[in-house]
Amino acid sequence: MTTLLNVKDLRAYYGQVQALHGLSFSLSEGSLTTLLGANGAGKTTTLRAICNMVRSTGGIEFDGKPLNNRSTESIVRFGIAHVPQGRGTFTTMTVEENLQLGAITRKDNAGIVSDIERMYAHFPVLKQRHTQQAGTLSGGEQQMLAVARALMLRPRLMLLDEPSFGLAPLVVRDLFGILGKINREDKVSILVVEQNAQLALELADQAYVIETGRIVMSGNAKDIANNEEIRKSYLGY
Amino acid sequence: MELFTNQVLAGIATGAIYACMALAVVMIYQAIDHLNFAQGEMAMFSTFISWQLMQWGIPYWGAFIIALALSFVGGIAIERILFKPLAKAPVLTNVAGFIALYAIINSSAGLIWDFTIKQYPTPFGSSPFLGSQLISTHQAGMIGVTVLLLIGLYFFFQYTKIGLAMRAAASVPESARLVGINTSWMIALGWGMASAIGAIAGMLIAPVVFLEPNMMGGVLIYGFAAAVLGGLTSPFGAVVGGFLVGVFENLAGTYIPGVGNELKLPIALALIISVLVVKPAGLFGRQIVKRV
C-alpha cells in the first residue's frame, strides 16, 4: 500500500507553548487510521497542524507533496476534508447550502448535484431537512451533515476530530458504521481522532496512541485492542 | 391627506438611499465586525468622481458605470491597504482607522474639488412623475434604481457560488476556510461591493442634497439608524430599516410640532438610542438558533 500522508517530526506551538514534540506517523492510501489519546494529548493539534491552522514545524507530505506553509484553504484543494471539533456547521444556512459549501472548490456542477443526492441516500434525515436552517438540527444530525459536507469535496483523505463527541451511543454506532462504509466503498482514506478508544479500534485498521505530544504506541488496531497492558495504561478501558 | 401621501412617498424615496447606505454598512459589519464610519465619505468621493467624469464630457450613465467600477476597485484597495493589516488589532485601533479614513477622504475631496456646493444632474428629470404632483421623476428613479439593486443583490447572494461563499465566510470563517474559501478575499470583495452600493446612494442623493465634501454626513447617520433599527446582522433588516427611517423622518418633520427640518437629524439619533435600549438586536436581527 502506498503512503498517502506522511508526518515527520511535527512540532506545533500555541504562542510560546509547545503542544507537539516531534510527532511522526504515516497513513497508507485507503486505510482508516485512528489517533488515540487522553484529553490534551495533542490529537486535535495534530489535525490542525496538517491543515496549517496552528503554527508548526516539521514535515507534512501528502501524496509526496509537502503541505507546509500552504494556507488552510489551499490545502483543501489537495483533496483533504477536515471535519473540525464542534462540527463547524454553518448554522445560519440551510442543510443544502451546507452541502453546496462542501463542494465550493469543485467546478463540475452536474457532479455536485448528483453528489448531493448521494449524500441524501447516505443520510436520509438530511433530505427530510434540506431546507431547514442547519443550526436547528440535533447534535447527531449536525455530525452527519458535517461528514456529508466533507464528502462533498470528493476527498482523498478525510480528517475527523472527535466525531462521537456529545452524541448518544446509538447515534455513534450509526455514524461509525457509515464511516466504515465510506472508507470501503468510496475509497476515502480516513484519519479519525477519538477519545472513545474502544469504538475507534473496532473501526480502524491502523492505530497510533499519543501522549503529551508524542507517539507512544503504534500498530494494527486489532493488536492494540487485544493488548490488555496498552489498553489499561493508555486507553483507560 | 395629500400632504400625508406626499410625505410618505418622499420618505420612501429618501429611505431608498438610507437603505443603500445601511446595506453597505451591514455588509462591512458582517465581514469584519466593525462599523465603517467612512462609508459616507467613500460614497461622496465616488459621487465626485462621477461628477468629474461628466465635466470631462462623459454622458451620465457612462460616468455612473465608470464611477461604480472605480468605487468597487477602490473599496477593495482600502481593505487591502488599511484594514487587512488591522484584522487582528483591537476594536479601538480599527475605530481610529475608520476615523482616519473619514478625515483623509473628506480633506482630499476638499483639496481636489474644493468645498463649494455644486449642482449634480439627474438622469430622470424632476418633473411630476406620471403627471402626479405626489412624487417627482427623480424620486421615482431613486426608488426604481434601489429596487433593481436590491433584487440583483438578492439573486447574487442566494443563487451564485461566490455569493454563497461570501455568506459562509461572514458567518463561520474557520469552517469557510476548511471548505476551501479564501475568506480574506471574500472580505475584500465585501468592501468592494459596499463601496459600489454606497456610490449608487451618493449619486442618487446628490441632486437633492447637492454635491460637496460633507454631503453624506447626515445621510450616513440615517443609514446607521436604519441599520441599527433593522438589525446590524440582517441585510434584509437594513433595507426595511432604511425605508422606515425615511418615512418616519419625513412624517416627524411634518407633523410633530417644533421638529421641522432643523430637528430631523436628532430624530435619527434618538431612534438609534431607543432601538439599542429596547431591542438591541434590531427588528430583524438574527436570533441565531443553536442547539448543543
> pLDDT tens digits for A186-230?
899 999 998 888 888 988 999 999 988 889 888 898 888 888 877
Q: Which of residues 46-85 of A touch B (CB under 8 A)?
A: 51, 53, 71-74, 76-77, 81-82, 84
Q: Which of residues 83-102 of A touch B (CB under 8 A)?
A: 84, 88-93, 97, 100-102
Q: How far is the CA of B273 from the CAs of A53, B85, B228, B266, B278, in angstroms? A: 40, 32, 9, 11, 9
* Cβ contact B68:B196 at 8 Å: yes
Q: What is the pLDDT of residue B21?
A: 96
Q: What is the mean pLDDT of residues B212-218?
A: 93
| Beta strands, E only, chain B | 128-129, 132-136
Within a 10 A sphere around the Cβ of B164, how many other Cβ atoms?
20
Quote the minimal CA–CA distance from A237 to chain B in Å.
Answer: 27
Q: What is the pLDDT of residue B287?
A: 55
Q: What is the pLDDT of residue B144?
A: 95
Nearest to B291 among A72, A105, A136 (CB): A136
C-alpha B261, offset from chain centre: 22
Beta bridge partners of A160: A83, A192
Answer yes or no: is the ipTM higher than 0.95.
no
Is the overall model pTM greater than 0.80, yes or no? yes
Bridge-based pairing state of the strands A206-211 and A32-36: parallel
| Interface with chain A: mutation pick from B179, B181, B234, B284, highest number of A CBs within 10 Å | B179
Contacts of B186 in chain A (CB under 8 A): none
Looking up cell 426595511 gives B240
Quote the minimal CA–CA distance from B163 to chain A in Å.
Answer: 11
C-alpha B144, offset from chain centre: 16
Quote the minimal CA–CA distance from B284 to chain A in Å.
Answer: 14
Query: Do residue B172 and residue A166 have CB atoms under 8 angstroms apart?
Result: no
Query: Do residue A93 and residue B286 have CB atoms under 8 angstroms apart?
Result: no
Q: What is the mean pLDDT of residues A106-113?
A: 93
Looking up cell 433599527 gives B229
**Region for residue A157 given its phi and psi (left: phi exceeds 0; alpha: psi -120 to 50; beta: otherwise):** beta
On whether any CB of chain A is under 8 Å from the CB of B168, the answer is: yes
Nearest to A77 among B164, B176, B180 (CB): B180
Say which DSSP state B125 is in. Answer: -
The per-residue pLDDT of chain B, averaged, comes to 91
A193 closest CA partner among A58, A66, A23: A23
C-alpha A129, offset from chain centre: 24
Judged against a pLDDT cut of 80, whether residue B224 lies above it is answered with: yes
